[in-house]
A = this chain, B = another copy of it.
Amino acid sequence: MGKRNLFLMSSSAMHGFGYLEHAQTDMTSFFKNNSVQKVLFIPYALTDYDGYTERVGSVLKRWGFSCNGIHTFPDPVKAVENAEAIYIGGGNTFLLLRTLYEKQLVGPIRDRVLNHGVPYVGSSAGTNVATRSIQTTNDMPIVHTPTFDALALVPFNINPHYTEPDANVKHMGETRQERIKQFHELNDAPVLGLREGTTLFVDGDNATLIGPPTEMPGICYDARLFRKNQEPVEYAPLSSLSFLLKE
């Protein structure tokens, strides 16, 4: 896995920042360090491919990169094979995974990223599908998928937008932590709860948690790691999480 280069964002938005802006410095470095000028954007998690590609592309353009939606290429598999970098945006994780399978892109993306070092950016649903399965998504199952197995660029699960209930909220529905506990009653993989504004950066066999450029007071940016039958553990930004890649 010496070539793996992943930039897995919890979210495309963070309170106090414009769209994607919290990630500007780090994503720019990520692309530049990998000599990327042109980004292939995969908008399958939403239904308005043109609008979504324009939204992300206009930000990337401001930062000095060009961006094309995969739907504008006649052959999406070829587009992946020729991509300098692959960016999968958020939206609905079930819709995204189903479309990746329909277009027969799961194998090609996995090959390019793991065997050829093509840089991969994901946010939210795009981060979910980068992991071993989409079983810890927060999204509604608006379409059926043949399997929940995903790209498996990392061997664990992520819960993006990880959050805990405000102590004042009267809502009694299951918390995120309780839902992940239910996952672990029937599954073994570790689950990394990635809070908004944070990114998991993976370079080969090294994984590091990256925090936002400025921290909002009173908001936690630690990642929370859940393991079956164990108490969760918090990791602050800049912590190494490389051990998760070796399990």
A residues bordering B, Cβ < 8 Å?
11, 13-16, 46-47, 91-92, 94-95, 124, 134-144, 147-148, 160-161, 163, 166, 168-174, 179-180, 182-183, 185-187, 196, 216, 219
Contact = CB atoms under 8 A, between A and B. Distances in A.
A196 B172 contact: yes
A148 B141 contact: yes
Given A135-B140, A141-B134, A171 B161 contact: yes
A170 B216 contact: yes
Contacts of A92: 179, 182
B163 A171 contact: yes
Contacts of A47: 185-186
B144 A148 contact: yes
A158 B94 CA distance: 19
19 contacts: A11-B172, A15-B171, A15-B172, A47-B186, A92-B179, A95-B186, A124-B173, A135-B142, A137-B141, A138-B174, A140-B179, A140-B182, A144-B147, A144-B148, A161-B173, A163-B171, A169-B169, A170-B219, A173-B196
A46 B186 CA distance: 10
A192 B98 CA distance: 26
Nearest to A124: B173
Nearest to A48: B185
Contacts of A95: 182, 186
Contact of A172 (B13, B170, B180): B13
Contacts of A124: 173
Most chain B CB neighbours (cut-off 10 Å) among A16, A171, A185 = A171
Most chain B CB neighbours (cut-off 10 Å) among A14, A160, A183 = A183
B163 A166 contact: no
Given A135-B141, A142-B187, A166-B166, A196 B171 contact: yes
A149 to B, nearest CB: 9
